[in-house]
Structures are given as structure tokens and as C-alpha cells.
Structure 1
Amino acid sequence: MTAAEALEEVRLRGAVEVDWLGATTEGRPDFAAAELLDRQGVPSCHVWRVPESKVPPHLSATQALRRWQDGACAMCSARPERLLVDHCHRTGLIRGLLCASCNTAEGLRDAPPFVAYRSRPPAVLLGVEEQYGSAWDGFARTSTGQAERNVAHVDAAEALFSGIRDRFRGDA
């Protein structure tokens, strides 16, 4: 592929992404409005417009989330310098992109907006699925490429952090 062909491919993919997103990133609640949603038990991403068509095939789930979330935290709509990839520690599936504060709180709280986020995260809203992690995170790839939960690692991590989580919840 020549440089000109590569640039044309990038231009075409960009046009496909713009068409896919449409106006879905416009008119989203800002951080202050998201605080009101939070008090009602609604994560910010649940009021965002979802693209009507399927995710372009050249995008991974994480890339699609990055494009759709457009730099905004799925819980609070904050726009930090970087967002963290949130994932379910039991299944290993990516849920969405969160600011550092919401990513920390998500793992420690069962408040209604976090419960709602976990039940219908951005990945579910977009209809994408992607495995997160490595053997360190509790997931490893088998010889067939399938992700497999490393039960011993996850159980050890949960045991280590359970006391910390309980203190934040006020259970201790």
C-alpha cells in the first residue's frame, strides 16, 4: 500500500465513523447536569444518544467506546485528560470508559447510579464486546485464543481488597 492509498483509507474510515456517530455526541449533559442525574440514580451515559447503526467493523470495542464517549466519563460526564477502561472483574468484559474518580468509586459502591451503570454499561449500549486484560488481571488467553478466568488470581485479589472495600462502604 502506498502512502497515498493509506491516507485515502484513513480518510474513508474517518468518514464512516462520522456517519456512524452522527449527532450522538451533541447535547450531552455537562458535569453539573450529570450530578443531578446521579442523584436520581442515572449514570450520564444512559441519557446519551446511541448511534442507530452498528459499529464500523474496523473499530475495536474500545475504539468505538472512545469515539462515542468523546472524552467524557460514562458516569459523570467529566472530561479529564484521560479515561480509564472499566471492566467487569468476574467476566473480564470491558464495560466503558470512566474518569479515575468514578472508576475507583465504581468498584467500591453499590449506589443506584453504579448499579444502573453495571447493568447497562456503554459497551452494552453500543452492542460491542471485548475482553480486557491479561493473566495479571485474572484473565489469560488459551491456545485457541479464548479468554479464560484465572480464578485463583481473582479470588486472591478479592480477598486482599475486601477489607478495604468494606471500609469504604461503611461495613467495617
Structure 2
Amino acid sequence: MTANMEWAFEETRRRDVAEREWLGSTAEGRPTFAEAKVLDRQGIPSCHVWQVPAGEVPPHLSAIDALRRWQAGACALCSAHGSRLLVDHCHQSGLVRGLLCTSCNTAEGLQSAPAFVAYRERPPAVMLGVEEQYGSLWDGFAAPARNKDERNAAHVDAAASLFGDIAARFHLESE
């Protein structure tokens, strides 16, 4: 084995140890999907009852990587596992907030329910003390929306493109 390979393996082991020490047992005892439904009725997003790791996020982790490790495959709002988690971001600041399942990510922009409001006020990124601009060098970074009306118009356009067919069918059937 070359010196470079030995260094790479040792660095990987060092980072794994740092992540395990940082995370500790924070993923234990989290609410199930069913328990998260009860929390939702009380206006509490699932992530607000998760144990937050003590100490600083290891420096080798980006904000999104730290969120992926801490959330351990669970949606920050509903605790659903097994589905692909999407990176949620604030359209006003362009900052990453957390990782959500497809259902919660779609609903998040259109909901004013207490659990969604609480999630926006204290998202997982804030809980971990990390900050990252949404996007990448390849596809560009999210530009903050200029105002609330602009953001709402974007949501209406997105909803219309997603549900326009369905709405049109219901409109025709009700006449």
C-alpha cells in the first residue's frame, strides 16, 4: 500500500471517529412516524424533540452533510424513513434549512400549519448551528426572493403546473 493510500484510510477513520463522537446517541429514541403525527397535531415538528449533538460540527462536514448524518434518513417534519430526503431551503435568504421527505417538502411552501411555522422558525440547520447557501457552483446558488409577493407568485405557479390538470377536471365535473 502506498503512503497516499495509507494516509487516505487513516483520514477516513479519523473522520468517522469524529462524527461518531459528535453524534453520540442522538439518533436513539426519536419519534416514529405515528408519534410524529401526534406531535404535528400539537404544532411540533419532529426534529424539535430530537436530541441535538453536543459540541461543534466536525470541520470536515458541510452543513448538508452534517444534516444528513444527524437526521439519519428521517424527515425533519414527519420522521418518515425510507423515502428520498430533499434539501429544503428558505426562498428569502437562500439558506438551507433541513432535509424533508417529498411530501413535507412539497407541503412546506404552501402550509401555514403550526408545525410548519415552528419548523421555519427553528429549522435543523439552526439547531445544529450550521449555515450553507442552497445550490452549487455547477447549477448556481439560490438567489433570495426580493419580496413575499414574488415568492408567493412562484408557489402559485408551481402549484398550478403540478395540479392544474386536476383542478380543471374538478371544475368541469362540478358544472
TM-score by length of 1: 0.82
8 Å CA contact 1:94, 1:130 repeated in 2: yes
Amino acid in structure 2 at the alignment position of 1:162? V
Farther-moved stretch of structure 1 (94-103 vs 79-88): 79-88
- The counterpart of 1:161, out of the listed 133, 148, 155, is 155
Query: Which residue does the alignment assign to 1:99?
Result: 101
- Residues 80 and 99 of structure 1 are in contact (CA less than 8 Å); yes or no, is this contact kept in structure 2? no
Number of equivalences: 156
Tell me, yes or no, if structure 1 residue 59 matches structure 2 residue 61: yes
| Change over 3 Å in CA distance of 1:50–1:162 after alignment to 2 | same
> Equivalent of 2:18, from 13, 16, 20?
16
| Structure 2 residue runs without a partner (length 5+) | 164-175
Give 1:52 deviation, angstroms.
1.1
Secondary structure (helix, strand or coil) at the match of 2:135 reads coil
2:39 counterpart residue number: 37
2:113 corresponds to: 111
SS at match of 2:107: helix
- Structure 1 window deviating more from structure 2 (130-139 vs 99-108): it is 130-139
> Taking structure 1 as reference, are residues 158 and 50 closer, same or farther at Cα in structure 2, changes over 3 Å only?
same
* Structure 1: distance between partners of 2:126 and 2:154: 30
Deviates more, 1:65-74 or 1:80-89: 80-89
- Alignment deviations for residues 12-42 of structure 1 (CA, whole Å, 9 cap, x no partner): 0000000000010111001000000000000
- Secondary structure class of the residue paired with 1:116: helix
SS in 1 for 2:99: strand
One-letter amino acid of the structure 2 residue matched with residue 73 of structure 1? C
Shift of 1:160: 4.5
Q: Distance in 1 between matches of 2:145 and 2:110?
A: 22
Identity between Structure 1 and Structure 2 (%): 62
Q: Provide the C-alpha distance between the structure 2 equivalents of 1:2 and 1:160, rounded to a whole number of angstroms.
A: 49
| Separation in 2, partners of 1:97, 1:5 | 32
> Which amino acid is 1:120 matched to?
R
Using the TM superposition, give the Cα deviation of residue 4 of structure 1 relative to its aligned residue in structure 2, in angstroms: 1.3
Structure 1 vs Structure 2 CA RMSD = 2.4
Whole-Å Cα distance in 1 between the matches of residues 158 and 62 of structure 2?
A: 34
